[in-house]
Copies of this chain bind each other. A is one copy, B any other.
């Protein structure tokens, strides 16, 4: 069989879903082209640790190319998808030049971005963490706020720089707020001369009546208590009404304003804009978050050769979490293999392996079926699960070393900012407010 006669699979996105789909095709007589806007896979569940200086970007983002070095049927391309023609079965992508890729099977796993609930103008003020660039930006904003507090000329300015609001109390918001508390209470303690970093206010707000809504009630309450013990103000049933450079207005049974120079976003997600291309071409519907409603075998209506998986799709009973994307990627790879062998496949079935979220340094909550864990035992489960999914033994080893380091030493490895990075936003704000 000549190469050109091989079944061509194009995979868009090197996240959990795309990666797993490509892996599931490793022995299949196919030619896989894996497209990503970056040259790396990104372990998003640990991104908040890059944003708070625990891990280096490289430790959670192995190069896609090196992951597929020994799988010769995968070709990796660094390029951004610009179009999908479902009729001609062509994906167009751009890097140096525009590339056209003909496919026999298309697997789209392009993930999700932040959603600002109809307020796109908040994006510039309240950054979230979805990419490594985001994480570096948030790190610079957070550490820069302490630097500018040290230099502030009035008490009001100083307090506003020392007030941090995290919007959204899902796992990312809880983990981020917990790390901010540790940063201020422990890591930065004693490093400043004019401010007391430990007096920084960390405020976690959420529109619902509890933190970590995916967990059952006793664990939600335990997580809230753990956050309070770390020094986080947990404000529930509180909605963001407006956000500007000086602070945030919230509605919590009545409106009030919080003067805060740093507002971080961990609230909504919005499916990749590629869903619109796929919906327009196939007539598939999308939900409120822009996620595609796919068929039970994760294909588009009328297009059995096009799969969509991960955070960009909505499947009944399947949450938007990494394990779901992984299972979907694996399933889709196996469906392609089965079809090539002339076999049929069952619909996708999600296996809920449980949920875990960490709070601060050594605490977590974990729920696996009827088993509920909290505190240090849950933290051990959290660490084991995240290490198991982290790609590469070297990265696992380094992550453990850094976590142990953060337990023992009052410091963080990755704390780099410069006046150049500050100038991108904070200094401009500070100058406007001062002037």
Contacts and interface: CB of A to CB of B under 8 A. Distances in A.
Given A75-B193, A77-B151, A38 B394 contact: no
A18 to B, nearest CB: 16
B413 A59 contact: yes
A140 B28 CA distance: 33
Could you say how many copies of this chain the assembly holds?
2
Interface stretch (A92-100, A237-245, A246-254, A292-300): A92-100
Interface string A58-86: 11011101101100100111111000000
Contact of A95 (B78, B148, B397): B148
B418 A39 contact: yes
Given A40-B415, A58-B413, A58-B416, A191 B430 contact: no
Given A97-B153, A99-B151, A405 B394 contact: yes
A168 B411 CA distance: 38
Interface stretch (A262-270, A279-287, A330-338, A419-427): A419-427
A417 interface: yes
The 4 closest A-B pairs by CB, nearest first: A56-B56, A58-B414, A96-B430, A38-B418
Interface in A110-168: 131-133, 143-144, 147-148, 150-153
Given A405-B394, A414-B57, A426 B191 contact: no
Interface of A: 37-40, 53, 56-59, 61-63, 65-66, 68-69, 72, 75-80, 94-97, 99, 131-133, 143-144, 147-148, 150-153, 188, 190-194, 394-395, 397-398, 401, 405, 409, 411-420, 422, 426-427, 430-431, 434
B416 A61 contact: yes
A151 B38 CA distance: 15
Nearest to A56: B56
Contacts of A151: 77-79, 95-97, 99
A411 B58 contact: no
B422 A409 contact: no
Contact of A65 (B57, B192, B398, B422): B192
A118 to B, nearest CB: 26
Given A96-B148, A151-B79, A133 B63 contact: no
Nearest to A99: B151
A78 B147 contact: yes
A395 B401 CA distance: 11
Nearest to A417: B39
Contacts of A192: 65
Nearest to A193: B75
Nearest to A131: B418
Contacts of A99: 151
Contact of A422 (B72, B95, B148, B415): B95
